[in-house]
């Protein structure tokens, strides 16, 4: 235990959160058993979130949190010793020491933080269908499109790729003259029909939903360079965990995009991280604000996968903390997995409110000294009912406590302060410029134009002579210039690598092929068949 931590209240294996008749400690070894922070608007949820985030960061645990109102950004700046803050700290036996924490800002729109992007392939059909609000038939057609893309080596990176692919699988119902040119996309259309009836009307509906998503900013989210989640899981030079803040004030105007994006992040963490069992402290703590948006109108298949990911991601060393106004916003089967609870005040003005208060009280381990139902409605600002897991993994009896004051600033930072932090960011320049790699759109355009590379011929523009012979020999060795039916994912990758090497020797097509390989293979090898935990687990 360091001297500073002693004054702040934290010790090596626990975070001091608040004090009432008893002290409330969050045990780091049990922090990956997930948690819940609830309460009405203005009762102090954001401060509680900041206190826990600061504690995790001090312990060397990276944090990711969505910042809906901008208030959480203050964690990046030194706190102020205001009278009410010093008074509260003194009453708890603490010495208030202003502090600040290394912070990285992220923004789907790239305006107040580093851009956050994912490829359409990584998102997968299940989450994309949720984002587009598709029905079962439309989701089925979307799955057909993804399968056809896999089988034909068509990377779906951005929105124009998906649009081009959907156009390509629409059946061609027009009658052609005898001398009409052959449809270059006929094999793709035939393959799509082989998986089921793909109609023009259904594809048109999906295209219109894509337009809605584009108008909400989806075009900026889908593309490359795709986010590397390991960039969230870093510590600073002092060994403290980095605090990653998703600027979500504008994103919240598109609640379905917000919820699906955070769910995608969870699924990617679940897929990428190795098993960790029960580590002495989490590898990452994930705060999901406005959590009710995740569960609103979610179909059963999606709810099953949400529950599965929340249950299993614990073993990857990730703690998930849902932040919402009311415990009944979270389904019971997910609520039962949230062991660490912080409940701020609720107001009971309507029958539904009274039901919510009763439900919140029932989620705690009873304390004979407290009437939990009554206390929930009496809590003042900054007070909370707290129950954290004890050493044997069972919930402690609920206690009424005053939440400790944060050490960093309470409230938003200025645009100038944000710019200074972004200029010094460890990921500055990595995601700031979008890359348009060769993918499904470009490949299909080449086929339509008659310039696509065929499976049994040399690359367009490779020429003949000795260099052309070299390309042919290398292609034969790897089996990538031999005519075949569907290519497996491994064959597709081998083909692209071979073409890249060959054309680097030739020199004429080096830049173009390098772009193609970067788009298909950069950071996403093997994801043609498994797209994140949620898409992959369904094996669609």
pLDDT in tens, 70-129: 899 999 999 999 999 999 999 998 899 999 999 999 999 999 999 999 999 999 998 999
User: What integer best gives the mean pLDDT of the chain?
Assistant: 82
- Indicate the pLDDT class of residue 425, thresholds 50, 70 and 90: very high
Q: For residue 305, what pLDDT is reported? A: 83
Query: Between 502 and 317, whose confidence is greater?
Result: 317
Integer Cα distance of 299 and 301 in angstroms = 6
Q: For residue 259, what pLDDT is reported? A: 87
First to last CA, the chain: 51
Alpha helices in 392-481 (DSSP H): 415-423, 440-449, 465-478
Q: Which two tokens stand for residue 323?
A: 């932040």
Q: For residue 392, what pLDDT is reported? A: 82
Q: For residue 444, what pLDDT is reported? A: 94
- Indicate the pLDDT class of residue 8, thresholds 50, 70 and 90: low
Q: For residue 528, what pLDDT is reported? A: 39
Give residue-wise pLDDT tens across range 428-479.
999 999 999 899 999 999 988 875 444 444 444 444 444 444 444 444 444 4
pTM: 0.80
Say whether pLDDT at 22 is over 60: yes
Integer Cα distance of 445 and 160 in angstroms = 11
Cβ pair 270, 90 in contact under 8 A: no
Q: For residue 513, what pLDDT is reported? A: 37
Tell me 240's DSSP state.
Answer: P
User: Average pLDDT for residues 4-11, to the nearest whole number?
Assistant: 52
Say whether pLDDT at 522 is over 80: no
Lowest mean pLDDT among 104-118, 282-296, 473-487: 473-487
Give residue-wise pLDDT tens across range 51-62.
999 999 999 999
Q: For residue 209, what pLDDT is reported? A: 93
Integer Cα distance of 209 and 245 in angstroms = 29
Residue 274 CB coordination number (10 Å): 8
Burial 176-187 (b: 16+ CB within 10 A, else e): eeeeeeeeebee
Which residues is 408 bridged to in the sheet? Answer: 78
Cβ pair 97, 509 in contact under 8 A: no
SS3 26: strand
Q: For residue 181, what pLDDT is reported? A: 61
Q: For residue 478, what pLDDT is reported? A: 45
Integer Cα distance of 488 and 178 in angstroms = 35
- Indicate the pLDDT class of residue 239, thresholds 50, 70 and 90: very high
- Indicate the pLDDT class of residue 63, thresholds 50, 70 and 90: very high
């Amino acid at each position: 235990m360091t001297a500073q931590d002693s004054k702040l209240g934290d010790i090596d294996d626990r975070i001091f959160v608040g004090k009432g008749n008893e002290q409330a400690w969050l045990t780091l070894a049990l922090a990956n058993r997930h948690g819940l922070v609830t309460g009405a608007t203005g009762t102090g949820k954001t401060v509680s979130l900041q206190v826990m985030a600061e504690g995790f960061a001090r312990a060397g645990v990276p944090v990711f949190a969505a910042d809906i109102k901008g208030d959480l950004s203050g964690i990046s700046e030194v706190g102020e010793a205001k009278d009410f803050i010093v008074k509260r700290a003194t009453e708890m036996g603490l010495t208030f020491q202003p502090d600040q924490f290394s912070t990285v800002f992220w923004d789907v729109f790239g305006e107040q933080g580093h851009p956050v992007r994912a490829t359409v392939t990584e998102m997968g059909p299940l989450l994309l269908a949720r984002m587009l609000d598709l029905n079962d038939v439309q989701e089925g057609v979307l799955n057909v499109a993804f399968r056809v893309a896999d089988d034909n080596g068509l990377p779906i990176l951005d929105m124009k790729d998906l649009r081009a692919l959907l156009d390509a699988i629409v059946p061609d119902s027009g009658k052609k003259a005898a001398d009409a040119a052959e449809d270059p996309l006929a094999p793709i259309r035939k393959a799509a029909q082989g998986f089921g009836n793909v109609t023009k009307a259904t594809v048109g509906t999906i295209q219109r939903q894509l337009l809605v998503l584009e108008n909400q900013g989806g075009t900026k989210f889908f593309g490359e360079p795709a986010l590397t989640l390991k960039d969230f899981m870093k510590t600073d030079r002092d060994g403290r965990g980095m605090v990653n803040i998703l600027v979500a004030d504008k994103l919240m105007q598109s609640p379905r995009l917000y919820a699906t994006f955070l769910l995608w992040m969870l699924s990617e963490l679940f897929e990428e991280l190795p098993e960790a069992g029960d580590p002495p402290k989490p590898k990452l703590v994930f705060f999901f604000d406005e959590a009710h948006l995740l569960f609103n109108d979610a179909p059963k298949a999606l709810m099953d996968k949400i529950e599965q990911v929340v249950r299993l991601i614990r073993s990857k060393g990730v703690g998930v903390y849902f932040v919402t106004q009311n415990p009944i916003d979270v389904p019971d089967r997910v609520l039962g997995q949230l062991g660490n609870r912080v409940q701020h005040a609720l107001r009971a003005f309507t029958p539904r409110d009274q039901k919510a208060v009763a439900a919140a009280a029932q989620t705690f381990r009873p304390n004979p000294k407290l009437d939990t139902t009554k206390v929930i409605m009496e809590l003042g600002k900054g007070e909370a009912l707290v129950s954290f897991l004890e050493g044997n993994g069972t919930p402690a009896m609920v206690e009424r406590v005053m939440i400790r004051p944060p050490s960093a600033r309470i409230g938003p930072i200025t645009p100038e302060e944000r710019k200074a932090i972004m200029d010094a960011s460890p990921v500055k320049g990595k995601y700031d410029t979008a890359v348009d790699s060769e993918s499904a759109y470009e490949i299909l355009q080449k086929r339509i134009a008659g310039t696509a590379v065929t499976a049994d011929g040399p690359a367009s523009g490779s020429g003949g002579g000795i260099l052309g012979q070299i390309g042919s020999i290398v292609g034969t060795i790897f089996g990538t210039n031999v005519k075949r039916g569907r290519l497996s994912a491994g064959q597709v990758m081998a083909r692209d690598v071979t073409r890249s090497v060959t054309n680097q020797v030739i020199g004429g097509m080096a830049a173009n092929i390098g772009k193609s390989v970067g788009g298909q293979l950069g950071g996403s090898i093997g994801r043609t068949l498994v797209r994140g935990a949620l898409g992959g687990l369904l094996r669609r």
